[in-house]
Structure 1
Amino acid sequence: MSDTATAAALTRIRDNALWMRRTAFAMVHRAQLGHPGGDFSAMDVLATLYFGVLNYDPACPDRPDRDRFIMSKGHATGAFYAALALAGYFPQDWLATYMQPESRLNGHPNRNYLPGVETNTGPLGHGFPVAVGVAIAAQIAGAAHRTFVLTGDGEQQEGSNWEAAMVAGHRKLRNLTLIIDRNRLQQGAATEDTSGLDPLDEKYAAFGWDVHVVDGHDPAALLALLGAAPQDRPRCVIANTIKGKGVSFMEGQVSWHHGVPDDAQFARAMKELV
């Protein structure tokens, strides 16, 4: 990518991430349901993937040569649905129905209802093993597309992830990229107070992964890393993030894992998200 193209991509990513934050928070405020803290920590990663990295066609969502993205932290649907709508998978006015009766936009993504959702997720520790299976299928078929999967860091406490990591490292799945949203907070407490994960980078390296630690709110760093050509093994990107990033009273606060804003908080957030 040329310097001009990279600059244009970064502008697009930053602008879209801001739109996605404002939109996702409005969705949660309207529904009085959701997980805005985790939405906001993952937002820059999602914006970088959808508007700078992934190969996809919303007009043909099942195109065989598309890159696959699996949202393993399936509770962060505010961010995910905002990204899908902005990418053109479905009309943006659907977002107003978020978590309403008979809406296609459930609290967890369902591929039977929405284009662009590769697999149903929500039970933590589920999406990453599915992504490994998808990457194995592509490896066997000799396909060129890549598979990306985003997990939460609390989700890494699930044993199924470590079985998946072991298999991916053993099979040298160079077409697989795991991104860990490392905001260090999970429902009710800090990850390290619940079931410690550190040193997370050394653990994945020991399983044979190409490991990188990056600022998960730096689109330039994310674009350079996620857009880089695959190596000879699976890539693990530990994205250091802040829960509730972008809104002062939410940042780093565990209560916003599934907190919802009242009218005054919503108005204050909208003034900050500019």
Structure 2
Amino acid sequence: MTALELKRVANVIRQDIISMLAAAKSGHPGGSLSAADIVATLFFNEMRLNPNDPHWEDRDRFVLSKGHAAPVLYSALAEKGYFPKEELQGLRQTGHMLQGHPDMKKTPGVDMSTGSLGQGLSAANGMALAGKLDGKDYRVYTVLGDGEMAEGQIWEAAMAAAHYKLDNLTAILDYNGLQIDGKTDSVMCSAPLAQKWQAFCWHVIEVDGHDIDALLAGFAEAKQVKGRPTMIIAKTVKGKGVSFMEDQAGWHGNAPSLEQAEQALKELREEAKNLG
């Protein structure tokens, strides 16, 4: 897809996020919206996938380490054709497949159940190492939250990935600067992140996480790196695309009311018009 086409996909994903959270009356809009451009670029340009065969051995793998942002993943999977879009309206509801956090046993296309923060990178390491041991050429991608950087397991996994030279692994940090309790720098400062990941022997790329061209260039660069994993630090805005949600920690885990959802969808549809 072109960058413009990927922007359109990201806009559709953001509309899906708002609609499903309003229907569920619960969930996490802020970090789902901030990751939409990243996920759209991965699922509709970068990753080798087969929705007709979710368990295809040679597929690229994806781990949403910040599992509370499940709506962004569910929308991408539905748009990609893993299940009917109607399922999105069953988010967090009894009798439906879409749990509050990704469940690989219930949802086609989910490669790893996540939700307890800090564990996704370890799972991605295992997938990447298995690929190397099996002589496979698939790649593994994992999206992390910046609040997750306070988890010790992240740094253990960072050391392990470098030790095993997992150059088939790319981690993307959704660096929106906010978590449930406020600014990440105030809750538990993890800066300077680029220098820390470099010190852990990772190849580090810094991009604007809403600039599709920058994301495309970052993923292309990561594929050329040999002998070490890659961390793409993507600077984003929490709640991106909805004016009253942008850069507001209060929208970390609060679903919009029907009236708020209407306003949010109005803004996103206007953006869609501008994208042509």
Q: TM-score, normalization: structure 2? A: 0.95
Match of 2:150 in 1: 157
Report 1:67-86 matches (<5 A).
67-86=60-79
Match of 1:240 in 2: 235
CA contact (8 A) 1:21 1:79 kept: yes
2:127 to 121, 127, 134: 134
Q: Secondary structure at the match of 1:273?
A: helix
Structure 2 unaligned segments of length 5 or more: list them.
Answer: 270-276
Q: Distance in 2 between matches of 1:9 and 1:87?
A: 16
Displaced runs of 4 or more, over 6 A = none
> What is the CA RMSD across the aligned residues, in angstroms?
1.0
Indicate yes or no: 2:8 matched with 1:15.
Answer: yes
How far apart are the structure 2 equivalents of 1:17 and 1:11? 10
Of 77, 85, 102, the match for 1:109? 102
Measure, in 1, the Cα distance between the counterparts of 2:265 and 2:60.
33
Aligned residue identity for 1:116: G
Q: Show CA shifts across 1:46-103 (max 9, x none).
A: 0000011000000011111110011111001111100010011111111111111121
Q: Indicate the SS of the match to 2:232.
A: strand
- Native 8 Å contact 2:22 2:256 kept in 1: yes
Q: Counterparts of 1:146 and 1:221 in 2: how far apart (Å)?
A: 20
Q: 1:255 is matched with which residue?
A: 250
> What is the aligned partner in structure 2 of residue 269 from structure 1?
264
Structure 2 distance, partners of 1:175, 1:267, is 42
How far off is 1:265 after superposition? 1.3
Counterpart residue number, 1:51:
44
Q: What is the CA distance between 1:264 and its match in structure 2?
A: 2.2
- Secondary structure of 1:75's aligned partner: helix
After TM superposition, give the deviation of residue 106 of structure 1 in Å.
0.4
SS of corresponding position for 1:76:
helix
The question of 1:189 aligning with 2:182 is answered yes
Aligned to 1:231: 225
Count of aligned residue pairs for this structure pair: 267
State the alpha-carbon separation in 2 of the partners of residues 109 and 263 from structure 1. Answer: 25
Aligned 8 A contact 2:181 2:187 in 1: no
Per the alignment, residue 173 of structure 2 pairs with 180
- Per the normalisation by structure 1, the TM-score is 0.95
Aligned residue for 1:4? none
What secondary structure sits across from 1:227 in the alignment?
Answer: helix
Aligned-partner Cα distance in 1 for 2:196–2:250: 29
Aligned residues with identical type, % of pairs? 45
The aligned amino acid for 2:230 is R
Letter in structure 1 aligned against 2:225: Q
Q: Give the Å deviation of 1:217.
A: 0.4
Q: Which residue of 1 aligns with 2:274?
A: none
State how far apart, in whole Å, the 1-side matches of 2:266 and 2:139 are.
38
